Chains A and B, each alone.
Chain A
């Protein structure tokens, strides 16, 4: 089961990556890991550094992917982003500002995409 979740997660990140590239985002890094947690994608658009959390669910019978991003998850992402900002000055110095986004994907049982939502700036309201 654990492995299965990991695999579907990988699929999600791939879908999200393609989706963002199509929207004109530049992917800087994927799967940035620290002891606090992981940031799935780090991207760049209009000189803004964007940390992206990808959530994928197969069917919405057990809650939507949006439900899965709560306060706890958000502060985890914020902490991890903080670490990235501290440890990668060579990248960070090129940007004026940064924000946290989420890409929520729902798949049909046959692995085709049912819906994909891009939520911008989670902490900004």
Chain B
């Protein structure tokens, strides 16, 4: 007897409906075969389904079972076909009745017959809505991912037994109630508060600008000056994701299995930090079929690369194109997939191998050759794409241990965050028609439309470009940073003060 069950496969961020055809024939020699280009994890579904059915108290049929995953020419991977195969067998045995409306079945089975957390449910629910599939049966632990999508029924399934009695009409499973974005509360856990960091006022200001406009930032300073600490404190001042941003991030997190059991939409801006041994495929994305890398996982968020020059040259250079375009297209023999990668890069480095070049108190022990070798690891085109360059000097001892009478009060992260959010709201209002969220995302052609410089500001900018022979890219990026500084202040036009501040971050470290 033949049964057809609807399920889905994900390719990049695209979802393709897969028809799982199950044929049970009592005539042939008993066996269990899966065809339709399954990989190892799909192939192993045989044993999981068989054992899960037996452990749910169902006699596994002594018959020839053939499972076809159609369309048969697309390679299938993952464990999500366990549930449709099991349901197909149950239906062929006449134990259940399939729902009349189109239904997706999706999930990994455990040997005891319970359902395990399976990645990609959010994308599945979105696909269900566009394809007109009414019911979606998924493991309970990932039901919340689908519950944010409107107009479809998400049925959370604990065990195969439970689903059996639901489909047999004995005891129905209650569908999950709709979750709206405002229902989700995710506490923003931060490692450090800006109030804990003493001194470094200028660095804090630069981070505030970076957070407000989504600009890239490069910090250079001696060991122990607080570069890493500053970067770790950054999540505390990042604004929460807007609804559209949240949907984009959740898609990537869902398909990579980064949403914890019970989780739903991601509301906290991603902050990813990668070790410098990270491979190119790990950072940019890759594999066959292609999987998203760290730059896509930090989409709409922050990618923090500590010890920047220690990364391999080819890895760093691969960042150039996505930094400019905000998307990365990965092409392999298995296909070409586009992933969003609109991230904000925070990089930190020492000025030389010993770390003390330019330090007022300690002497640098490096030879000129060593210094130039170290600094040449970062190419000009890469540094050109970074808007804010920052020196983080060592903190003076007086600031670390203030005398009792003089109290140094540092601003709290939550106060800075309020300003950042305000600046983002201004940007959203201005840019939402063009489809951007932040100033950094603007393309050059939009600058004329959205950014208004006063005449004096324009003159200053022109003078700076001529005097320091800045590149065209730098020119446009300077305007974007100036715009963010103006937004933080809440002023409409860009004035000389804004341009001057933007210039100061640009010229701090002379390349070479």
Interface residues of A (CB under 8 A from B): 64, 66, 69, 102, 117, 119, 122, 125
Contact B62 A66, beta carbon cutoff 8 Å: yes
A66 to B64, CA, bound (A): 11
Contact A122 B29, beta carbon cutoff 8 Å: yes
- Is the C-beta of B368 less than 8 angstroms from some C-beta in chain A? no
**Can you list, as one digit per residue, whether each of B7-44 has a CB less than 8 Å from chain A (1) or not (0)?**
00000000000000000000011110000000000000
Q: Enumerate chain A residues within 8 angstroms of B29, measured Cβ to Cβ.
A: 66, 69, 102, 119, 122
Contact A66 B30, beta carbon cutoff 8 Å: yes
Q: Enumerate chain A residues within 8 angstroms of B31, measured Cβ to Cβ.
A: 66
**Can you list, as one digit per residue, whether each of B68-91 has a CB less than 8 Å from chain A (1) or not (0)?**
000000000000000000000000
Q: Enumerate chain A residues within 8 angstroms of B30, measured Cβ to Cβ.
A: 64, 66, 119
Which A residue's beta carbon lies closest to that of B30? A66
A69 to B64, CA, bound (A): 13
Interface residues of B (CB under 8 A from A): 28-31, 62
Q: Enumerate chain B residues within 8 angstroms of A64, measured Cβ to Cβ.
A: 30, 62
Q: Can you list 14 A-B contacts (CB < 8 A)?
A: A64-B30, A64-B62, A66-B29, A66-B30, A66-B31, A66-B62, A69-B29, A102-B29, A117-B62, A119-B28, A119-B29, A119-B30, A122-B29, A125-B28
Q: Considering the complex of A and B, which 9 residue pairs feature the smallest CB-CB distances, nearest first?
A: A66-B30, A119-B29, A122-B29, A125-B28, A66-B62, A102-B29, A64-B62, A66-B29, A69-B29
A24 to B73, CA, bound (A): 46
A125 to B27, CA, bound (A): 9
A64-B62, A122-B29 known, 11 other contacts, Cβ within 8 Å = A64-B30, A66-B29, A66-B31, A66-B62, A69-B29, A102-B29, A117-B62, A119-B28, A119-B29, A119-B30, A125-B28
Residue from the set A64, A69, A102, A125 with the largest chain B CB neighbour count within 10 Å: A125
A125 to B28, CA, bound (A): 6
Which A residue's beta carbon lies closest to that of B32? A67
Which B residue's beta carbon lies closest to that of A101? B29
CB distance from B63 to the nearest CB of A (A): 10
A125 to B29, CA, bound (A): 8
CB distance from A56 to the nearest CB of B (A): 16
CB distance from A10 to the nearest CB of B (A): 24
Q: Enumerate chain B residues within 8 angstroms of A66, measured Cβ to Cβ.
A: 29-31, 62
Q: Enumerate chain B residues within 8 angstroms of A102, measured Cβ to Cβ.
A: 29
A66 to B31, CA, bound (A): 8
A64 to B31, CA, bound (A): 11
CB distance from B35 to the nearest CB of A (A): 13
Which A residue's beta carbon lies closest to that of B60? A64
Q: Enumerate chain B residues within 8 angstroms of A69, measured Cβ to Cβ.
A: 29
Q: Enumerate chain A residues within 8 angstroms of B28, measured Cβ to Cβ.
A: 119, 125
CB distance from A63 to the nearest CB of B (A): 11
A68 to B483, CA, bound (A): 73
A117 to B28, CA, bound (A): 12
